[in-house]
C-alpha cells in the first residue's frame, strides 16, 4: 500500500497487527475513526490505555478484574468450595451467562501444549494446588475444551489433585466435542455443567 501520510500508515500498521485484521480492513477501520469526533477517539484510546495499565488479575482465581480480588471471588453467595477450572476469561464469561453455576473459578491462562512450548509451569496450576491445600474445597470441575491440549491438561491436573480429599469432575464433553467452550450455546453448556461426571468414571 502506498500511503499519502506517514501518520495514516502508522495507524494502519498498528491495526493490522491485530489477529484476523488485514491491511485493507485496517485501512477501513482507521478511515472510519478519522471521521469520528475527537472525543470519541479519545475515549477509544483511553479504553485501550487503561486496559493495560489498570486491569488486574484476581489474586485468588486469576480472572481479569478491576480489583485485586474479582467480583465473583468476593461474592458472599458463591460456593467457595466448588471450583470450576477453565482455560481463560472467555470461558468464565460463557459459564456465567448460563446462570447455572454458583461456585467460583480458577483461570489457568492457557492449556498444556508441548507443540507450542506451553508446559505446566507456564500455567496457573501451583496456585490451584495451593487453594486446595488451604481452602475447604469439596469439588473441582475441570471445564476444559475437548481438544488434545484440553485432554492433556485434564490428565495432568487429575494426577496433581487426586490425592486431595476432593471430588474431581469433568463436564459432559461429548456434547461439546470438537468445540471450544465459548462457542457452545448457553443451554448446552449449562446442562453439561449440571450433569458433570466424576473424572475417574469418564476415563473408564
Ligand atoms: Zn477471583
Same domain, 50 and 119: no
Tens place of pLDDT per residue across the chain (204 aa): 889 999 999 999 999 999 999 999 999 999 999 999 999 999 999 999 999 899 999 999 999 999 999 999 999 999 999 999 999 999 999 899 888 899 999 999 999 999 999 999 999 999 999 999 999 999 999 999 888 899 999 999 999 999 999 999 998 755 444 446 656 677 777 878 887 888 876 655
Largest CA distance in the chain: 66
CATH number at residue 33: 1.10.8.420
Q: Is residue 101 part of a domain?
A: yes
Q: Is residue 188 part of a domain?
A: yes
Q: Is residue 179 part of a domain?
A: yes
Same domain, 20 and 102: no
The gap from C-alpha 164 to its chain's centroid, in whole angstroms, comes to 25
Same domain, 164 and 181: yes
pLDDT of residue 173: 59
Measured in Å, residue 55 CA sits from the centre of ligand 1 at 13
Measured in Å, residue 72 CA sits from the centre of ligand 1 at 6
Domain count, the chain: 2
Q: Is residue 117 part of a domain?
A: yes
Measured in Å, residue 157 CA sits from the centre of ligand 1 at 20
Measured in Å, residue 68 CA sits from the centre of ligand 1 at 8
Same domain, 28 and 107: no
Alpha helices in 57-144 (DSSP H): 71-74, 89-98, 126-134
Q: Is residue 80 part of a domain?
A: yes
Q: Is residue 89 part of a domain?
A: yes
- How far apart, in Å, are the Cα atoms of 134 and each of 47, 60, 113, 115, 137? 37, 12, 28, 33, 9
Measured in Å, residue 70 CA sits from the centre of ligand 1 at 4
Set of cell numbers at residue 63 = 480472572
Q: Is residue 1 part of a domain?
A: no
pTM for this model (two decimals): 0.81
Same domain, 67 and 156: yes
Same domain, 24 and 89: no
Same domain, 85 and 186: yes
pLDDT of residue 98: 87
Set of cell numbers at residue 66 = 478491576
CATH number at residue 91: 3.40.1360.10
Range of the domain at 78: 57-203
Same domain, 117 and 30: no
Same domain, 116 and 173: yes
Same domain, 107 and 31: no
pLDDT of residue 183: 61
How many CA atoms lie less than 13 Å away from 100 in the CB half-sphere?
Answer: 16
Same domain, 42 and 128: no
Q: Is residue 148 part of a domain?
A: yes
pLDDT of residue 84: 96
Given 3-state DSSP classes, what are the helix, strand and coil percentages for the chain, each rounded to the nearest 5?
50, 15, 35
Measured in Å, residue 169 CA sits from the centre of ligand 1 at 20
Amino acid at each position: 500500500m502506498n500511503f499519502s501520510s506517514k501518520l495514516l500508515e502508522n495507524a494502519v500498521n498498528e491495526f493490522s497487527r491485530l489477529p484476523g485484521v488485514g491491511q485493507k480492513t485496517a485501512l477501513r477501520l482507521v478511515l472510519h475513526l478519522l471521521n469520528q469526533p475527537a472525543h470519541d477517539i479519545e475515549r477509544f484510546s483511553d479504553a485501550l490505555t487503561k486496559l493495560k495499565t489498570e486491569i488486574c488479575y484476581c489474586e485468588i482465581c486469576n480472572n481479569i478484574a478491576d480489583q485485586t480480588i474479582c467480583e465473583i471471588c468476593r461474592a458472599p453467595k458463591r460456593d467457595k468450595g466448588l471450583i470450576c477450572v477453565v482455560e481463560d476469561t472467555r470461558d468464565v464469561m460463557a459459564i456465567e451467562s448460563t446462570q447455572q453455576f454458583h461456585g467460583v473459578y480458577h483461570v489457568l491462562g492457557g492449556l498444556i501444549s508441548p507443540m507450542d512450548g506451553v508446559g505446566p509451569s507456564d500455567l496457573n496450576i501451583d496456585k490451584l494446588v495451593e487453594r486446595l491445600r488451604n481452602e475447604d474445597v469439596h469439588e473441582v470441575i475441570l471445564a476444559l475444551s475437548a481438544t488434545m491440549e484440553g485432554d492433556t491438561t485434564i490428565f495432568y491436573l487429575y494426577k496433581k489433585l487426586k490425592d486431595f480429599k476432593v471430588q474431581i469432575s469433568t463436564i459432559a464433553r461429548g456434547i461439546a466435542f470438537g468445540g471450544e467452550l465459548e462457542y457452545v450455546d448457553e443451554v448446552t453448556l449449562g446442562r453439561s455443567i449440571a450433569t458433570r461426571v466424576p473424572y475417574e468414571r469418564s476415563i473408564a
